[in-house]
Amino acid sequence: MSLGSKKNSGKPGDDGVVLLLGGRSEIGLEIATRLAPGRTIVLAARRSTELAAERQALLDAGASVVDCVEFDADDLDSHEKLLRSVVDTHGPLSVAVLAFGILGDQARAERDARHAVAVVHTDYVAQVGLLTHLATLLREQRSGRIVVFSSVAGVRVRRANYVYGSAKAGLDGFASGLGDALHGSGVSLLLVRSGFVIGRMTEGMSPAPMSSTPAQVADAVVRGLHRGASRVWVPGRLRPVFFVMRLLPQAVWRRMPR
C-alpha cells in the first residue's frame, strides 16, 4: 500500500515513488536506502549523469527503479516543470525529501553580502519555492508526505552561525505553517530538527555535543514517517535542551559557541 492508496495514512507505505531532491545528500541517500525495497526512487541533483554510484547503491538496496534527473535548487523557474515531469514519468509521489542546502562560510558572509544572500537563497528561498509547488502537486493527488530539514540552528539563532541559522529559522516557520495548511488534505509534512550532523557538510569542524550521523538521522526520519509524526528532533534529547536554551538571557546566549 502506498500513500496514494489511502488518504491520511500517515505512513510511507511499501511502494510508491520516493523523490530525493538533493540526490547526493548523505542523509537523503540514507533515507532513500531505507525506503528503497520495491520502490521507484528518483534522485534529483546537479550533474545527474554522475550519480551512477548512488543509483547502484539504491538498486542494491532493493529499489525496483532508480532514475536520475537534473535539478538546480537555485533555478526557481525550473522547479514546477521538474516535479510535473517526475509525476508524468513515474506516477504519483509517495514521499518527497528536500535534502539540499549549503552551510556557507559565516566569516565570509559577514563581509560579503553576495555570499550571505546565496546561503539564504539556497537554504530558504529555494526551499519555499519548491515546497509551494510540491504542496500544490500533492494536494491534487490528495496524498503524499514531504520531509523538510530544519535545524536546531534555527530554533534560536546564534551569533556564531547567524546567516545559516536565520535561513533555517525562516524555513522552520514556513514549513510549520505549511504543515498546518495541509491538514485534512491527505498530504502531510514531517519537519526534522537535527543537531550537528557528522558528515561531508561539516567536514573539518569539531563535532558539537549530542551530534548525530546521517544514518542516525535517517533512522529517526523513517520512524517518524511510519508513525505519522509532524516533528522529529535528532537526537530526541535536544528538544528539552532547546526548550531551556530559549529561556537564556540574550547576554548569555550571545557568547554561546557553535
| Distance, CA of 126 to CA of 80 (rounded, Å) | 12
Integer-rounded Cα Rg, in Å, for the chain is 18
Instruction: Look up residue 54 and give its amino acid.
Output: E
Residues tagged active-site: 164
Residue with cell 514556513: 174
| Distance, CA of 120 to CA of 13 (rounded, Å) | 34
| Distance, CA of 111 to CA of 137 (rounded, Å) | 39
Please, what sign has the CA dihedral across residues 28, 246, 258, 105?
positive
Among 230, 229, 226, 232, residue whose Cα is nearest residue 3 = 226
HSE toward the beta carbon, residue 136, CA cutoff 13 A = 10
- Give the number of other CB atoms < 10 A from CB of residue 166: 18
